[in-house]
Every structure is written in C-alpha cells, then in structure tokens.
Amino acid sequence: MQSPLPVRDGVNATRLRLPEEGPWDTAMDYMMHRWGHIDPQGIEDRFDAGEIVGEGGIPLDRSTPLQDHTFIWYYRSLPPETRIPVEISILHQDHHLLVVDKPHFLPTTPGGTYIQESALVRLRNQLELPDLIPMHRLDRMTAGVLLFSTNPQTRGKYQVLFEKRQVQKEYECVSAAEPAPGHAAVDFPVVVRNRMTKSRSYLLAEVVDGEPNAETRIERLETFDAGTSLGAAGAAAAPGDPARLARYRLEPHTGKTHQLRVHMASLGLGIINDAFYPELLDKAPDDYGKPLQLLARGIRFVDPITGKPVEYRSGLELGEAVRASTP
C-alpha cells in the first residue's frame, strides 16, 4: 500500500495498522495506548496539527473514530545521530539503476538507531531521489556492491530477477588458512549445504537438522602470512599458525541471513573480525579499524531493460589482504 505522505528527509512515513475493535474509541486513544507513556503531549500536538493521516491522506483529529481507517501514517520524531565515518562510492547510475560500493558499518536500510545513517537515506538525500529502493540488502558489517532501483516504473523487472535467483553474486572474505582445532581439513573448492534458521537468541542464525535450504560454493584464492606478501593460490598453511591467513571466493546460491558467515564458521574458518560467528562476543562500540573481512565483490545478471549481460564489481579491498600485500 502506497503511503499518502511523501518521503521526508530521505525517510518514509511510518504506517500503523489500527485494530478493528478494542477498548479505544478513537485513533488517538489507540496511539496513546501504544506510545502515550513516551510523549503524550507530542501525540496530541500531531493530531491537532493534522500531521497524522489516514487513507487518501485525510488528516485525523482527536475525535476521529477508531473504525474510520485501517491504516494511518505519520512521520516519526528522529533522534540525532552521530555520523558514521565512512563514505559511499557510486559505481553506476542510469534511469533505472543505481549501483554503489557500500562501506562497512553502514546499514542498507533504516532500522533501530540507524535512520539517517543508512545507505538508503544518505543516497536519497545526496542524490535527491526520494523513490530510491534497494533491490537487495547487505549486512551492516558487510561492504561491497549494492543495487538500488531509481525508477518505480521498471522496478518490478529487476525484482523478478532476484526472486527467480537469476542474479549471480560473488563475495570475498579473509579467514584463517586452515580450520580451527576440532574441524576437518577442507578440500577446496567445496560446496556447503545445510539448513539454517533464525535463532531465538541474540545469535541471528544457526544450523539445524533438516532438508538443506542454504548453499554456498567456497574457493580458496590465495594464502599469505599476515603482514607479508601474498602466497601462491592454494598454498599449504602451517597448522595452528594464527598469522597464516587466506582469501576466499564465496558464491551463495541462496540468501539466508548471515549465510556466508555461518558457512565459513561451520568449516572452522570464521571470518576475521566477525563478532557473531563462531562465537558471539560481548556487544562493543564499532571499531572502525577492524571491519568484518567480508566483501560483496561482484554481481551479474541479464539486464531486463537492455537484454544484455551486465556485471558490476566493487572497487573496495579487504584490509587484511591489503596489509598482507604491503611490503
């Protein structure tokens, strides 16, 4: 359902579904029930100013009956945010698509404490594109190629590509060159298949028994000593040597939450600087000097508008690999 309120400051108006019945006579009574303990005066002021609207953009007042509207829209009061010290690079822009290099630490879309400090809102404001919508998502801690639709008229054609898995994605990561103790040696390339589900705990994803629903092909590209030059591709690593690292190519065939991080950890090759897998670390402030070593390197598909194959590649590099290649 399209919002009757336009995007403001890069942010969509919030939609709220009103209950069909209950102990509330008016829409304002229900909002007071939900949020009156936070800012009752602010809610009253918004109704008085006509800043809360229903279907068709009709302003509501204090006496609007609960049953008059199924949905209402309003703009949230946004708290001030500290700017995340990273920048977005534009890789491609046309009448249909915007392709960017999303940096580590910046979320794709608004959520939680990150509203203005999200790739979507930053780009809407920077490029004056209120209709901008992401075609897929990257975790906040993952960097790399991210696609947005700039044209609502052609958006559906690109959405179909993702829905039908006609988009090939390639990632890179840096992890240990050999599995952690207790894990079997890996003969690369390897395809990891298992069943993943969202966990009820803070850990956002986990592997469970059952029919596989997640699949990733993993290839080791090169191994190296941290802080030294890169070694030959596939070179043997010294067992148990924490300074011996490797760069891997990851090709997901499905798109489960944290799939790549979970699959690498399942091999005993947890990605460098991963605070979730294989071990959940205590929550701590972001350390911008230690980003998760996971990068969406490239994406390719047949463009539904031109009918031609296209590929977009990230210009970013993983810090651990760069440091290793620096004399």
Does residue 112 share a domain with residue 31? no
Domain assignment present for 327? no
Does residue 108 share a domain with residue 36? no
Does residue 149 share a domain with residue 24? no
Does residue 57 share a domain with residue 109? no
- How do beta strands 133-134 and 168-176 pair? unpaired
Reported confidence tier of residue 112, pLDDT bands at 50, 70, 90 = confident
Res. 187: pLDDT tops 60: yes
Reported confidence tier of residue 203, pLDDT bands at 50, 70, 90 = low
Domain hosting 47: range is 7-74
Most confidently predicted of 30-39, 195-204, 289-298: 289-298
Reported confidence tier of residue 325, pLDDT bands at 50, 70, 90 = low
Does residue 248 share a domain with residue 193? yes
Write down which residue in 46, 74, 102 finishes a domain: 74
Domain assignment present for 81? no
Does residue 299 share a domain with residue 154? yes
Instruction: Give me the pLDDT at residue 277, please.
Output: 93
Arithmetic mean of pLDDT, 227-251:
61
Domain assignment present for 80? no
Domain assignment present for 194? yes
Does residue 294 share a domain with residue 202? yes
pLDDT per residue as tens digits for the range 266-281: 999 999 999 999 998 8
In the chain, the number of structural domains is: 2
Write the secondary structure of the chain as one string of H (helix), E (strand) and C (coil).
Answer: CCCCCCCECCECCEEEECCCCCCCCEHHHHHHHHHCCCCHHHHHHHHHCCCCECHHHCECCCCCEHHHCCEEEECCCCCCCCCCCCCCEEEEECCCEEEEEECCCCCCCCECCECCCCHHHHHHHHHCCCCCEECCCCCCCCEEEEEEECCCCCHHHHHHHHHCCCCEEEEEEEEECCCCCCCCCCCCCEEEEEEEECCCCCCCCEEECCCCCEEEEEEEEEEEECCCCECCCCCCCCCCCCCEEEEEEEEECCCCCCHHHHHHHHCCCCECCCCCCCCCCCCCCCCCCCCCCEEEEEEEEECCCCCCEEEEECCCCCHHHHHHHCC
First to last CA, the chain: 56
Give the contacts of 262 (CB within 8 A, at least 6 positions apart).
Answer: 196, 205, 206, 207, 214, 256, 277
Instruction: Give me the pLDDT at residue 236, please.
Output: 36
Does residue 138 share a domain with residue 55? no
Residue 140's identity, in one-letter code, is: R
Res. 232: pLDDT tops 80: no
Instruction: Give me the pLDDT at residue 327, please.
Output: 52
Domain assignment present for 213? yes
Domain assignment present for 113? yes
Instruction: Give me the pLDDT at residue 323, please.
Output: 67
Tell me how far apart the 2 most distant CA atoms of the chain are, in Å. Answer: 74
Does residue 214 share a domain with residue 186? yes
Domain assignment present for 188? yes
Does residue 44 share a domain with residue 107? no
Arithmetic mean of pLDDT, 85-90:
98
Does residue 54 share a domain with residue 135? no
pLDDT per residue as tens digits for the range 242-274: 568 999 999 999 999 999 999 999 999 999 999
Write the secondary structure of 144-198 as one string of H (helix), E (strand) and C (coil).
Answer: EEEEEECCCCCHHHHHHHHHCCCCEEEEEEEEECCCCCCCCCCCCCEEEEEEEEC
Instruction: Give me the pLDDT at residue 296, please.
Output: 98
Domain assignment present for 2? no
Reported confidence tier of residue 229, pLDDT bands at 50, 70, 90 = very low
Does residue 122 share a domain with residue 255? yes
Give the contacts of 102 (CB within 8 A, at least 6 positions apart).
Answer: 88, 108, 119, 138, 142, 143, 144, 145, 146, 296
At 212, which CATH number? 3.30.2350.10
